[in-house]
Amino acid sequence: MKKEWLTVIECTPLAKGIYKMVLQGTMTEEMESPGQFVHIKTSAGTDPLLRRPISICDIDHTNNCFTILFRAEGKGTTELAAKKKGEQVDVLGPLGNGFPIEEAEAGESVVLVGGGIGVPPLYYLGKKLKEKGLHITSVLGFQDKETVFYEEEFKEIGDVVVATADGSYGISGFVTDAIQEKGLSFDWMYSCGPTPMLKALEASYPEARGYVSLEERMGCGIGACFACVCHLQDDPEGTSYKKICSDGPVFPLRKVVLS
Amino acid sequence: MKKEWLTVIECTPLAKGIYKMVLQGTMTEEMESPGQFVHIKTSAGTDPLLRRPISICDIDHTNNCFTILFRAEGKGTTELAAKKKGEQVDVLGPLGNGFPIEEAEAGESVVLVGGGIGVPPLYYLGKKLKEKGLHITSVLGFQDKETVFYEEEFKEIGDVVVATADGSYGISGFVTDAIQEKGLSFDWMYSCGPTPMLKALEASYPEARGYVSLEERMGCGIGACFACVCHLQDDPEGTSYKKICSDGPVFPLRKVVLS
Amino acid sequence: MNLSVNLPGLPMKNPVMPASGCFGFGKEFAKFYDLSQLGAIAIKATTVEARFGNPTPRVAETTAGMLNAIGLQNPGLDKVKEEELPWLEQFDVPILANVAGSTMEDYETAAKELSASPNVGALELNVSCPNVKVGGIAFGTDPELAAELTARVKKAATVPVYVKLSPNVADITAIAKAVEKAGADGLTMINTLLGMRIDLKTKKPILANTMGGLSGPAVKPVAIRMVYQVRQVTDLPIIGMGGIQSAEDVIEFLIAGADAVAVGTANFTDPFVCPSIIEELPQKLEEHEIHSLAELQRRAVAR
Amino acid sequence: MNLSVNLPGLPMKNPVMPASGCFGFGKEFAKFYDLSQLGAIAIKATTVEARFGNPTPRVAETTAGMLNAIGLQNPGLDKVKEEELPWLEQFDVPILANVAGSTMEDYETAAKELSASPNVGALELNVSCPNVKVGGIAFGTDPELAAELTARVKKAATVPVYVKLSPNVADITAIAKAVEKAGADGLTMINTLLGMRIDLKTKKPILANTMGGLSGPAVKPVAIRMVYQVRQVTDLPIIGMGGIQSAEDVIEFLIAGADAVAVGTANFTDPFVCPSIIEELPQKLEEHEIHSLAELQRRAVAR
Ligand SMILES: Cc1cc2nc3c(=O)[nH]c(=O)nc-3n(C[C@H](O)[C@H](O)[C@H](O)COP(=O)(O)OP(=O)(O)OC[C@H]3O[C@@H](n4cnc5c(N)ncnc54)[C@H](O)[C@@H]3O)c2cc1C
Ligand SMILES: Cc1cc2nc3c(=O)[nH]c(=O)nc-3n(C[C@H](O)[C@H](O)[C@H](O)COP(=O)(O)OP(=O)(O)OC[C@H]3O[C@@H](n4cnc5c(N)ncnc54)[C@H](O)[C@@H]3O)c2cc1C
Ligand SMILES: Cc1cc2nc3c(=O)[nH]c(=O)nc-3n(C[C@H](O)[C@H](O)[C@H](O)COP(=O)(O)O)c2cc1C
Ligand SMILES: Cc1cc2nc3c(=O)[nH]c(=O)nc-3n(C[C@H](O)[C@H](O)[C@H](O)COP(=O)(O)O)c2cc1C
Ligand code: FES
Ligand code: FES
């Protein structure tokens, strides 16, 4: 965990509103576990004030670089998208705990289920799982054809099924529809995406082994402010909790209350 | 009076903390009277929020350009100084009423008295007065040698006397000391600088004909908010007033209360 | 989309007006655009006698905001009636005349006289200006005084009366309810939050008046909260303000419970801000799937 | 330059501490720097029983600020005493323990127990948290209740007691005077301003709790004003806070009348903000020709 000025090596549009940024700096050395995130100050000064949490999508230890993919939507991400090659960005990271891959064994099959801007953290995860010798199917859900990204990259690590909500590309419907339609079976499920998607997955596959990565509005990103807590499924009304930023963002399926 | 995005043609340091910026745009067409100012939004967004008033130092109608000189001190001016050639700047102007030069006649002598960052508006004024055939002596006061600027430029329009408060360059002392030391006499006095300087001039030359340009913290810069009013010397406690932004910033000597 | 909003005394083409004190009497902005585009105009506070106001500096920038201590400088009732208001008659726009004073009698006199002007659609009682030391501030923070003043001004006035609420209170709903009971026809809120800045060079407050009123984007969350709170306790029309800079900000106020809005400080950074917002508003409403202003107005924000 | 400040119960190496709720119990920041560098640490509000707090979202960004509605989540008195405070003993830094509750008895119990911990130098009575619906808020806006609570906690506590004032009041000096009379050893101010933001997409408040507390640079002018006002009416030590981001901001608070300061929201944007400010402070003081902190403290800002 470091606060460092990183250098923008690349910042390019990938799909409608979606950008790819490659950042370089010594912070990369600390990045091991897929699914961690960085917390980015998109501009000096107070406008906007808070950092923006963005998942690490890919890591290149040789060049001390890592990749993030993000949707330029609000003020902070729009400013981030405007950074040019060579500019410096104030980044805190790597933060949180990524996807555990120790238990998954060579030869087993994995489904990576990503929804929209939840897709990025699954990419480096997939690479790692492939290295371990697992069979990977990626099910990637997007709004429409224009917002599809990284299909080719995921193809390099396994099979890919794309679904779009409006049916303009791939399977029409949600990722759960796509998994069913393809009749996919798997030993492990790793997922990241909007909460309703994660809930649907937990409901449809109540026995599945695996992990989900969550999002929540954050203050500090390091576990100090209690902005990002969630209840546990075995104590949904009680005082036990997990912090998404520092205990997560990745949790075992059915561990925490998705809300 | 326009709100326009102007193009930065040049932005270079002139002296310690002092920058010269040349801006291009159709707004220049409306600039006639020397001593008017522009109101600049130094960055998009809310940080900083308000515009910064900066005097017009020189006008080049041929190229639709004008020059400003400013001290990079606080947040806004520091950001302005960081602009690069080709960038666009949001400018409101030209604002206010400049120095009247109708009454001054060819052959008469003029002293231009500028203090620090009050020097810039006197430059275009001097050029105009020279065109009219007046004899010009510029008395320019600065803090120290490092903050002296535009001495050469003023030499092109007449005699120049430089004074520095710490004596590190030119005459040691204030502009009033310099005028006395040189035994200058003049038909007209035009001045811009810190209020204590203007007060000292009015006190030392109670009969002088001429004009002073004032500064005040501004809100709107166009006469709507009443942030920048001053009392009149013939009604110092009453309800009559002038707005520095829209009635001024230039007023006849001894017209308004300097405070 | 039909943007018109019909408020007591103020038949507005659209829900956007410049806020009092941030637009003078309109003359300066008329050089930039046709004032008939505006939903209404809230003119600068008028007192019975001309006032010079406070010594300068009167403004200080703060992070995402500004402090002002103008001190109600204005040319006085007679001049406003004889010069400023008649000049504004050339525009097709209702005027909300902001009234201030140090005694209840002052308010009554100004209210009576201003209501008689043909283009004054309504009055806005400035009971909340933090920059006047006599009276003013106390009226706005004490529900009983505010109610008494409202009742007296209602008697004196011949046009609807809006009361401008101060945010410098523990419970804004108490004042809102008190002035409603006293007969107010509407509420405008919020006035500025009392603030201060110190110049490190001089070690003294930047404002000659020491303290001043904070406005601008910094205060918007406080304003939204107060509009929301007041909307829960009254059905009076609310003209919301505090930090508005964009059509999105306007929509946020409307959802919170405002019927119309006023734009203050933003006029200083962009003289075209009001017409720009008015132009953008239909598209932004559509983007957010709002098909009429009526959909939003008076809608309690339930969660 | 000697930066030390000796406040009741808090022998501080320098006038800078992190603000309660913005620093947890220090563990996270200890990964970035040695906490012994800090003047003091204000730990997260502690209640007798563990609390989960409010539903999420609990934070919302605003212009130059943020809203929070954490809802006093904390592990409860026992755990704070047995785990958090002992862990902090490894650092050479006095602790200001923030105490919250819904009843006076809660406050008394927590105060009594926390004062018994060896590294707790003083207590900070959180009578002003806008995020708890029972009790809390009322204590902070009613001078009599605040005074009664202060008196009772003073009896229960064995270390000095600071009262944390709410800015959501019409007259902050009234509360300050009331708690001083009731025996408070110091004041900390300001807590957050009540605010709200609405999400245009959902048309609902962003915070699950509807409203939350506004902090960050946006509120600094309000905080400076309140510290200044309170400094005119009391000689109690004041720990000032609200929007501090830099050494200059610290100096502004000291000139306004604070004896020390706390840094809240800025810890989220820069985890190193406290040590950076401490490092910068001597140079910035020199730049502004301030030769000792004593020069500034208790100096009424006259103009
Ligand atoms: C652990 C984690 C990993 C993430 N990874 C990615 C990623 O790889 N790519 C990507 O595009 N997005 C990712 N997000 C979401 C991303 O943080 C938000 O889209 C972003 O903060 C929005 O900022 P903005 O400036 O566009 O929006 P604004 O509307 O200006 O944001 C206002 C405030 O709300 C917060 N906010 C708004 N939406 C979200 C959200 N969905 N989640 C958390 N905070 C939010 C912002 O951080 C900011 O504080 C991730 C979020 C989390 C928590
Ligand atoms: C009519 C007029 C003409 C001017 N011409 C020039 C010029 O040609 N060159 C130049 O360098 N400066 C000029 N100034 C002064 C210049 O406006 C200030 O130096 C500048 O606004 C300071 O901004 P900042 O971002 O550096 O400081 P900050 O401290 O960030 O400013 C904070 C706020 O205070 C205001 N402020 C601070 N100092 C002054 C000041 N001296 N006068 C007015 N407002 C101030 C700022 O505008 C801003 O609103 C002029 C001022 C006026 C009124
Ligand atoms: C310079 C200035 C002068 C103001 N004068 C008045 C006034 O005369 N009467 C009044 O009721 N409000 C006055 N206000 C308050 C505004 O009308 C408005 O309530 C406040 O500024 C919040 O809106 P904003 O954040 O959009 O500026 C003034 C505000 C500013 C900034
Ligand atoms: C996320 C968050 C949590 C807070 N929790 C507490 C708390 O538990 N107790 C308390 O007294 N103040 C709490 N505060 C208020 C801060 O201590 C401080 O008074 C306020 O944030 C103003 O300072 P700032 O602008 O530097 O953040 C909290 C503030 C924030 C932003
Ligand atoms: S964001 Fe602060 S605890 Fe998670
Ligand atoms: S700055 Fe607004 S009237 Fe002069």
Is D20 annotated in a binding site? The answer is yes
Please answer yes or no on whether C63 and D201 come within 8 Å at the CB atom: no
pLDDT of B150-160, one tens digit each? Answer: 999 999 999 99
Q: What share of chain D is helix, strand, coil (3-state, %, to 5)?
A: 35, 20, 40
Main-chain phi, psi angles of D273, to 5 degrees: -60, -40
Side chain identity, residue A153: E
- Is the CB of D191 within 6 Å of ligand 4? yes
SS3 category, A29: helix
Q: Is D64 on the interface with B (CB under 8 A)?
A: yes
Distances, alpha carbon C59 to alpha carbons A205, B217, B239, D11, D243, in Å:
62, 6, 19, 39, 20
CA distances from D73 to A130, B77, B181, D41 (A): 41, 44, 73, 18
E-strand ranges in chain C read 5-7, 10-12, 16-18, 41-46, 59-62, 65-68, 95-99, 120-126, 161-164, 186-189, 193-195, 198-199, 204-205, 212-215, 238-241, 260-263
**For residue D133, pLDDT beyond 70:** no
Supply the pLDDT for residue C102. Answer: 84
Q: How far apart are CA C169 and CA D171, in angstroms?
A: 8
**Are residues C28 and B220 in contact, defined by beta-carbon separation less than 8 angstroms?**
yes
- Through-space distance between the first and last CA atoms of chain B, rounded to whole angstroms: 28
Secondary structure element (H or E) that encloses residue C159, with its range: none
**In this prediction, what percent of chain C has a pLDDT beyond 70?**
95
Cα dihedral sign for D27, D29, D30, D32?
A: positive
Question: Across the interface, do D55 and A1 touch by the CB < 8 Å criterion?
Answer: no
d(CA D62, CA D121): 34
In D, minimum Cα distance to A224 occurs at D24
**What percentage of chain A's residues is helix, strand, coil (to nearest 5)?**
20, 35, 40
Which of C63, C198, C288 is nearest residue D201 as measured by Cβ atoms?
Answer: C288
Q: How far apart are CA A124 and CA A250, in angstroms?
A: 14
Cα(D241) to centroid(ligand 4), Å: 9
Interior CA angle at B14 toward B10 and B15, to 5°? 155
Q: List pLDDT tens digits, range D19-45.
A: 999 999 999 999 999 999 999 999 999
Give the closest residue to B36 by CA, choosing from B22, B51, B57: B57
Q: Tokens 């406690």 identify what position?
A: B237
Per residue in A59-109, pLDDT (tens digit) is 999 999 999 999 999 999 999 999 999 999 999 999 999 999 999 999 999
* Cβ separation C56–B224 shorter than 8 A: no
For ligand 2, say whether the CB of B117 is within 6 Å of any of its atoms: yes
pLDDT, tens digit (0-9, with 9 covering 90-100), for B86-108: 999 999 999 999 999 999 999 99
**Residue D113, both tokens:** 């127990």
Residue carrying the six token digits 């992990």: A211
Looking at residue C297, what is its pLDDT?
A: 73
Ligand nearest to the Cα of A219, by number: 5
pLDDT at res. D1: 86
Across A61-75, A97-111, C73-87, C121-135, least confident range:
C121-135
pLDDT of B49 above 60: yes
Q: In angstroms, what is the span from residue D55 Cα to ligand 5's centroid? A: 14
Mean pLDDT throughout A199-218? 95
pLDDT class of D295 with cuts at 50, 70, 90: confident
| Of residues D68, D69, D132, the one with CA closest to residue D99 | D132
Six-digit token string for B175: 């502009």
Is B66 labeled as ligand-binding? no
pLDDT tens digit sequence for B114-166:
999 999 999 999 999 999 999 999 999 999 999 999 999 999 999 999 999 99
C2 Cα to chain A: minimum distance (Å): 28
Report d(CA A67, CA D138) in Å as an integer: 50
Residue B65's identity, in one-letter code, is: C
Token digits of residue C73:
């400088």
- Interface residues from chain B to A (CB-CB < 8 Å): 45-47
Instruction: State the nearest Cα–Cα gap between B223 and chain C, in angstroms.
Output: 6
Question: Would you say B76 is a known binding-site residue?
Answer: yes
Q: How near does any CA of chain B get to the CA of A9, in Å?
A: 22
Each residue of B173-231: pLDDT tens digit? 999 999 999 999 999 999 999 999 999 999 999 999 999 999 999 999 999 999 999 99
Residue A2 pLDDT > 80 = yes
Q: What is the value of ipTM here, to two decimals?
A: 0.96
Q: What per-residue confidence (pLDDT) applies to C29?
A: 98
State if residue D22 touches ligand 4 by the CB under 6 angstroms criterion: yes
pLDDT category, C303, cuts 50, 70, 90?
A: very low
Q: Which of D208, D211, D255 sits opposite C198 (nearest CB)?
A: D255
Helix and strand numbers, DSSP H then E, in chain D: 12, 16
Helix (H) or strand (E) holding D200: none
User: Is residue B181 a contact partner of residue B99, using CB atoms and an 8 Å limit?
Assistant: no
In this predicted model, what pLDDT tens digit does every residue of C164-195 receive, in sequence order? 999 999 999 999 999 999 999 999 999 999 99
Residues in chain C: 303
Instruction: Tell me how many helices (H) and strands (E) chain A has.
Output: 5, 16
Q: Whole-model pTM?
A: 0.97
CA atoms of B44 and A48, how far apart (whole Å): 12
Task: Please report, rounded to a whole number, the percentage of residues in chain C having pLDDT higher than 90.
Answer: 89
Rg over alpha carbons for chain A, rounded to the nearest Å, is: 18
pLDDT at D75 over 50: yes
A45: closest chain C residue by CA? C63
The candidate with the shortest Cα–Cα distance to D186, out of D242, D123, D143, D243, is D123
CA C75 to chain centre: 19
N residues, chain B: 259
Question: D42 CA to middle of ligand 4, Å?
Answer: 10
Q: What is the mean pLDDT of residues C97-104?
A: 92
Cβ within 8 Å of residue C86, ≥6 positions away: none
Q: Which residues pair with C96 in a beta bridge?
A: C42, C122
Quote the tokens at residue D15: 């006038």
- Which residue's CA is minimally distant from atom 48 of ligand 2? C61
B18 within ligand 6 shell (Cβ under 6 A): no
Alpha-carbon gap, residue B20 to B26, rounded angstroms: 20
Q: D64 touching C, CB under 8 A? A: yes
Ligand 4 contact, D215 CB (< 6 A)? yes
Instruction: Find all residues with CB under 8 Å of A35, minimum gap 6, and list them.
Output: A55, A56, A96, A97, A98, A99, A121, A124, A125, A192, A211, A213, A249, A250
Which residues in A126-182 belong to E strands, given as ranges?
135-142, 159-164, 171-172
Using CA coordinates, name the residue in chain D closest to C256: D198
Q: Cα D39 to the chain's mean position, in Å?
A: 13
Length of chain D: 303
Residues B5-16: what's their mean pLDDT? 97
Task: List the one residue out of B195, B192, B113 whose CA is nearest residue B160.
Answer: B113
Chains that touch C (3 or more CB pairs under 8 A): A, B, D
Alpha helices by DSSP H, chain D: 27-30, 77-79, 85-88, 104-115, 136-141, 143-156, 172-181, 220-233, 247-256, 266-269, 273-287, 293-296
Is the beta carbon of B66 within 6 A of some atom in ligand 2?
A: no
CA distance D223 to D240: 8
- The residues of D annotated with a catalytic role in the active site are 129
Distance CA B192, CA B205 (A): 15
H/E element, B96: none
Structure tokens at B34: 């020397």
Q: Which residue has the higher pLDDT, D297 or C231?
A: C231
CA proximity to C166, closest of C223, C102, C110? C223
Cis omega (within 30 of 0) for bond into C271: no
